[in-house]
Amino acid sequence: MKRTLFSPYLSPDGNQLRFSARVFETDANLKRDELLKKIRAELPSELGLAPEQFQLSGMLVLYNNLLQSLFQSQILSLGAVFGAILVMFIILFRSIKLALVAIAPNLIAAPMVLGLMGFLGIPLDIMTITIAAISIGIGVDNTIHYVLRFRDELPADGDYGNAMHRAHGAIGLALYYTTLTIALGFSIMTLSEFMPTIYFGLLTALAMTIALLANLMVLPILLKSFKPFGAQA
């Protein structure tokens, strides 16, 4: 009886007692961080325990710490990534003005997808938190291809509008078919029975589509408006 009822929960010297509680992780109303903060606040106020007299542990605490670190790293990493991309664009294009124009479309996809997740109540987890990085990577690749093609087409007549049409007819089609193929490939993940995998597939495909539209619609308008290659026609 002692080995079954007391040994797993009571230390040998009797100075420590362990309580086990089950939390339903599938509960839609579960807010892990708020729950843990409430427990830490009420143990001293309701039971009169000093903070050094208790310690919360278990998978719930570990998973919550993981999620909190993911949230912080997401913000810091996105800021660092956009800064690094801007520097790379300046080195590649050798123009601060063109680098700022080129990075603007890449600021659209990630916030839109993250905002949609918040609006629909889709939580950030180990699967969905990588979507922003993937959308940025695809978007930057499309941006470089389009800007370089636009730069090659512009000297033909010096007209930004005509260069835009020629760039769309050439590299635009390649970007469209490439992104469409990759998005359809990620959409296959919706056939999974694991909900985070379904979210990952759908949202990644959506992020790639938004990044493509930004590079084919917003980027040409910015190039034509700010004329980073010079004041041609």
- Calpha distance 201→199 (Å, rounded): 6
Q: Is 46 within a domain?
A: yes
pLDDT at 102: 93
pLDDT at 74: 75
Tell me, yes or no, whether 51 and 124 share the same domain. no
Q: Position 115: which residue type?
A: G
Give 32's contacts (C-beta < 8 A, 6+ positions apart).
60, 63, 64, 67
Which domain, by its residues, includes 153? 73-226
pLDDT at 232: 64
Tell me, yes or no, whether 48 and 125 share the same domain. no
Tell me, yes or no, whether 158 and 205 share the same domain. yes
Number of independent structural domains in the chain: 2
Tell me, yes or no, whether 189 and 77 share the same domain. yes
Q: Is 231 within a domain?
A: no
Tell me, yes or no, whether 222 and 155 share the same domain. yes
Q: Is 61 within a domain?
A: no
Instruction: Say if CB 208 and CB 110 are below 8 A apart.
Output: no
Tell me, yes or no, whether 51 and 138 share the same domain. no
- Calpha distance 25→196 (Å, rounded): 14
pLDDT at 147: 94
pLDDT at 100: 93
What's 208's domain CATH number? 1.20.1640.10
Q: Is 232 within a domain?
A: no
Q: Is 180 within a domain?
A: yes
Give every residue of the chain whose pLDDT is below 50, as ranges.
Answer: none
Tell me, yes or no, whether 89 and 141 share the same domain. yes
Tell me, yes or no, whether 32 and 107 share the same domain. no
pLDDT at 153: 92
pLDDT at 145: 92
Q: Is 140 within a domain?
A: yes
Instruction: Say if CB 212 and CB 140 are below 8 A apart.
Output: no
Tell me, yes or no, whether 94 and 157 share the same domain. yes
Tell me, yes or no, whether 197 and 150 share the same domain. yes
Label residue 132 exposed, middle or buried (CB < 10 Å: 0-12, 13-18, 19+).
buried
Tell me, yes or no, whether 170 and 77 share the same domain. yes
Tell me, yes or no, whether 91 and 167 share the same domain. yes
Phi, psi dihedrals of residue 106, rounded to the nearest 5°: -75, -10
pLDDT at 103: 92
Q: Is 98 within a domain?
A: yes
Q: Is 5 within a domain?
A: no
